[in-house]
Amino acid sequence: MKVLLVGVHHPELVRGGAQQICYELFKGLQARPEIEPVLLAAVDPTFRALYKSGARITGFDGREGEFLYLGRDYDYTWHKVSNPQLLEAYSEFLEIVRPDVVHFHHFMLLGLDLLTLTRRVLPRAKILFTFHEFMSICAADGQMVRTFDRSLCTRASPVRCHQCFPDRGPEEFFVREMWFKRHLSVVDAFTTPSRFMIERYSAWGLDAAKIHHVTNGQPDYSRGAPPAEKRAKRNRFGFFGQLVDNKGVWLLLQAVRQLRAEGFSDFTVEINGDNLRFASDVRRAEIESFLADEAALPFADRRVVFNGSYDVDQLARRMARIDWCIVPSVWWEIFGLVISEAWMFGRPVIAANVGGPAERITAGQDGLLFEVADAGALARTIRRAATEKGLWDRLAKGIQPPANQEVMVDAFLALYGMDFKGSPLIGVQE
């Protein structure tokens, strides 16, 4: 079976959960002798050196089966490419590869119309789509966070979306929904890494019977790492991830300020991450100002350490320095790969009480939950974690190993082999 995986970015160029899982699946399929996987990852013109004159699709770093889709002229409002040469190059690529399965992990930088184009070029191929956020439903970067007050949104409608974008009329969002559903109608099966997403997408209008829960799986990065060392205090906290608005590192820094103001300083926080350039101007300035002020303090007074970006092979060293992993996301965090990574190393997780973290973490058993976007609630939880005797040991004992890469690969292979003809999706013509 030949499987084409299509996604946004290559994880070695831009870190992120969607591209990481797409690549983990690609590597897992490579280990199966009966499968021939091919990866096509979209990039944008900021990677100017990768663009060659006349090239539309190119190999990546001389690696077998890995290709880059050199996106250009992308319309972020309607999620389509206006460059006909890119569409021609993609059609030719499909004709050359001739995959049995085309598994999309995103449409950004690629274009929604690649779904219907794939169906036209390969009418017998199975098409799968994995949702890693709510971009099909939500024009606000797929986060379902209302732009005017940053509250969480539970459903989309033309009027509600117009409230987030007052310069765009309700009629535009009505057409947007039709546009998305038309292209998604050619998909044979959808998958989500968290179960709560199924309800959201079915409420939006997709057939729930065609949406499958497939958990994200990763290799065990902790192999060979010693267990957490015994310490009298469990007051070391770590943030791992992207330094963008929705991941909430700014909320963590606000919680640190509040703890200091209350006179509590018996803790340290290590920040590990990158992509601050993708944060909003306001949040980027806030984070940069805090870190600059922290670095100017005498070493003994510093409570926050910024370690910068990291690769998975650095996780063992960085996890060894902390007791708790904090996931302060302020949106419907879909899954939280960092939760899995923390659990690999036996570290309890402190996370916001919505979305994937709320689904995965059992509060008081393997982690702690706090009220989303509430810096005070996070500060109180940090203080509790740092001071309550026996809490860390009890939670660490309750951690179960997360799903590994093999579990995920097996689940997707089962879907690749499924016959979908008996139950078409909305809009599919038999």
Residues contacting 373, CB < 8 A, separation 6+: 150, 248, 251, 330, 352
**pLDDT over 90 for what percent of the chain?**
92
pLDDT at 277 over 60: yes
Res. 430: pLDDT tops 80: no
CA atoms of 131 and 140, how far apart (whole Å): 16
**CB-based burial, 59-86: b 16+ in 10 Å, e otherwise:** ebeeeebbbbbbbeebeeebbbbeeeeb
pLDDT(420) > 80: no
Confidence of residue 424 (pLDDT cuts 50, 70, 90): very low
Domain 236-402 sits in CATH at: 3.40.50.2000
Is residue 162 within 8 Å of 168, Cβ to Cβ? yes
Confidence of residue 19 (pLDDT cuts 50, 70, 90): very high
Residue 182 makes CB contacts below 8 A (sequence gap 6+) with: 116, 427
Mean pLDDT of 260-280: 95
Question: CB 241: neighbour CB atoms within 10 A?
Answer: 26
3-class SS at 190?
Answer: strand
Residue 293 has pLDDT above 50, yes or no: yes
Q: Is the pLDDT of residue 426 over 50?
A: no
User: How far, in Å, CA of 395 to CA of 397, rounded?
Assistant: 5
Split at pLDDT 50, 70, 90, the class of 315 is very high
pLDDT for 425 beyond 60: no
Mean pLDDT to the nearest integer, 290-304: 95
Positions of E strands within 47-155: 57-59, 66-70, 74-75, 80-81, 101-104, 126-130
Residue 224: per-residue pLDDT: 80
Q: What is the pLDDT of residues 172-207, one digit of tens each?
A: 999 999 999 999 999 999 999 999 999 999 999 999
Asked whether the predicted pLDDT for residue 370 surpasses 50, the reply is: yes
Asked whether the predicted pLDDT for residue 394 surpasses 60, the reply is: yes
What is the pLDDT averaged over residues 314-331? 97
Alpha carbon 375 to chain centroid, angstroms: 23
pLDDT attached to residue 226 = 86
**Residue range 280-306: mean pLDDT, rounded:** 96
**53 pLDDT exceeds 70?**
yes
- What's the pLDDT score for residue 428? 29
Mean pLDDT for 259-284 is 96
Task: Flag whether pLDDT at 427 surpasses 70.
Answer: no
pLDDT, one tens digit per residue, over 205-217 is 999 999 999 999 9
Both tokens of 392, joined, read: 């860390």
- Cα–Cα–Cα angle for 45, 309, 47, rounded to 5 degrees: 10
What is the spatial distance between Cα 64 and Cα 157, in angstroms, rounded to a whole number? Answer: 44
% of the chain with per-residue pLDDT over 70 = 97
Alpha helices per DSSP H over 262-298? 281-296
The Cα diameter of the chain in Å comes to: 70
Mean pLDDT of 120-126: 97
Interhelix angle for 281-296 vs 249-261, to 10°? 40
Residue 63 phi, psi (nearest 5) = -90, 140
Buried b (16+ CB within 10 A) or exposed e, 361-393: beeeebbbbbebbbbebbbbbbbebbeeeebbe
371: left (phi over 0), alpha (psi -120 to 50) or beta: beta
Sign, CA dihedral 281-282-285-287, equals: negative
Torsion of CA 53, 56, 60, 62, to 10 degrees: -70
Please state, rounded to an integer, the average pLDDT across all residues of the chain. 94
Q: Looking at residues 380-390, what average pLDDT do you find?
A: 98
Domain ranges of the chain: 2-217+406-416, 236-402
**Fold agreement (2-217+406-416, 236-402):** yes
Question: 2-217+406-416: which CATH architecture?
Answer: 3-Layer(aba) Sandwich (3.40)
Region 65-76 average pLDDT: 96
DSSP SS3 for 337: helix
Under the banding of pLDDT at 50, 70 and 90, the label for residue 312 is confident
